[in-house]
Amino acid sequence: MDSLERQHNSAADSEELLLLQKQQALLLTDQLAGKHLQQQLRPQTPWQAQGLTFEHCVVPALYLTGDSLDYFELPDGRILLYLADVAGSGTAAALISMLLKSIVRSYSFTAGLAEEITPASMLTYLNQRLLTYDSDRHITLICMIINTQENTLQWSAAGHLPSPILYSAGHAEFLAGQGQPVGMFEQVSYVDEQLQLPQAFSLSLFSDGIFDVQPQDSLVGSEAALPALISAAQGEYAQIVQRLGLANCSNMPDDIAMLVLSRNLA
């Protein structure tokens, strides 16, 4: 009887193992399909418009990512861009990041026909919309609008780290800006910042996963080291990728996203 019982248990264990392997294979297939969809939804890189070059890379911690970015021309000819980081990771964060893209695009091409959108008005609208979903997921992000006719950069921040870094004439510095993440609180206000753009510059945006590839021991130290790294790379996308080792990243603890826009660097 003991022998028969052991055989029975062994067969049951084998069936359970086979079922588990099938479930894992299906899950992996779904994850890879989701990863491909996210890649397809991202904007072209590099993308050139109105004398500007936009380049980006996204490194998921596993397959799906809650980091999101986009850039496109508004109906009035200005260019909007954002980089966002959804709280958490995995499928839920990935779905919210795709919802974010849909909301931003929809608002840009509906409200944008009737009024002049600003980064702060976009963040305010996003906050209102996300609260209606009751998703329990907040988002940090930087939203920017470039007017090449007036040569201005306008931006607003929603609790995002690190801050954007502007490089010009051999010098890199953080752009100021504070604000609460979107999707957390109802009574939130956002502020538009603005500056005149240099004729030659680059602007680098990162998600906080970038801190995981830096050698510094603290978040503060990692953030403080970024402008020097950008300066050493002369603001160039390829050099920044190389110095941060982003081309060879894998199995990171957090998603990583980077967006660099530039003009007349050569």
What does the pLDDT read at residue 229?
96
CA–CA distance, 133 with 94 (Å, rounded to integer): 15
CA angle 119, 112, 152 (to 5 degrees): 45
**Per-residue CA distances from 70 to 10, 23, 117, 119 (Å):** 53, 34, 16, 14
Q: DSSP string spanning 47-58?
A: EEETTEEEEEEE
What does the pLDDT read at residue 135?
72
Domain chopping of the chain, boundaries? 1-41, 42-263
| Tens-digit pLDDT string for the chain (266 aa) | 556 555 555 655 666 666 666 665 555 555 555 566 666 768 899 999 999 999 999 988 776 788 999 999 999 999 999 999 998 777 888 889 989 999 999 999 888 676 789 999 999 999 999 999 877 789 999 999 999 999 999 999 999 999 999 999 999 999 998 899 999 999 899 999 999 999 999 999 999 989 888 888 888 888 899 999 999 999 999 999 999 989 877 667 688 999 999 999 97
Q: DSSP string spanning 93-138?
A: HHHHHHHHHHHHHHHHHHHHHHS---HHHHHHHHHHHHHHHT-S--
Global confidence as pTM: 0.86
Residue 188 dihedral angles phi and psi, to the nearest 5°: -130, 140
Calculate the dihedral angle through the C-alpha atoms of 43, 47, 53, 59, rounding to the nearest 10 degrees. 40
CATH number for 42-263 (one of 3.40.50.880, 3.40.50.720, 3.50.50.60, 3.60.40.10): it is: 3.60.40.10
**Cis bond before residue 75 (omega within 30° of 0):** no
What does the pLDDT read at residue 61?
75
